Amino acid sequence: SFLPLINQMGPQVHATLERPGFYPAGGGRIKIEIQPTQQLQPIDLQTGGEIQQRRAIAWIANLDQDIAVRELKVIAHKLNWEEDWLSIEQVNHANGPGNVVILEIQRDHVTEVFTGFGQLKRSAEAVADLAIRQCQHYLKSGVPVGKFLADQLLLPMAMAGAGTFKTLPLSRHTQTHIHLIDQFLDVHINVIEQTSQNMMIEIKS
C-alpha cells in the first residue's frame, strides 16, 4: 500500500520479506533496496479508481492449517469473494507459531490492506472478522486512503511540499502527526471535512 505510492513520488523502493516474524518469538526479516531521488514529487489521491483485484491471504506458522481454512471460509461468506481470490500461505521457517489474515483491495490508483492477527483464545472466525470489518468500513466510505495509510503519507507529502488525498476521519495518531510536522517543516496541512466519513487533506508550502 505504502511503497507503490512512494515510488510514484520519485524514488524506487523494493521490499522483500525474507522471513515472517510472529509475536512473541519474532525473528522477522525484510530486505529493502532504495534508489533515491533528489526531490519527492507531490501526488494527488482524491479518487482510488475502480477495483481491479481482491485478494485474501491467510498466513499460518506452526499451527493447524484448519485455522486458515476457517478464516477464508468466513471471508468468502461475508464479503462474497470468489474462491480463486483466497489463498493459504504456510510458513515453514518461522521462529514460533503465528497467524495473520490479510485482505487486499487493489484499485487503479491505490491498494489498501487490512489485517487480523491471531491471538491466544481468539477464534479463527474472530480473526477474520477483524479484517472484514476494516475492509467493509473502507469500501463503504468511498475514500481512496484508509486511516493507517493516511498517517504514513503525511511525512513524505510534507517533504514534497504538496499533496492531496481523501481519507476517513483522522485517528488521534494522525492528528498528532499533523501537529508534529507543523513544528519542523514549513508547510500548511489543511483538513477539510467534506462528510462525516470523508476528509480532504491538503498539504501546501
Concatenated DSSP letters of 36-105: --SSPPP-EES----EEEEEEEEEEESS-THHHHHHHHHHHHHHT--GGGEEEEEESS-SS-EEEEEEEE
Q: What is the DSSP letter of 145?
A: B
Calpha distance 158→40 (Å, rounded): 9
| Cα–Cα separations (whole angstroms), residue 81 to 51, 67, 126, 171, 191 | 13, 18, 18, 29, 35
Please indicate whether residue 173 is annotated as part of the active site.
yes
Instruction: Identify the active-site residue in 14, 93, 137, 173.
Output: 173
Catalytic residues: 173
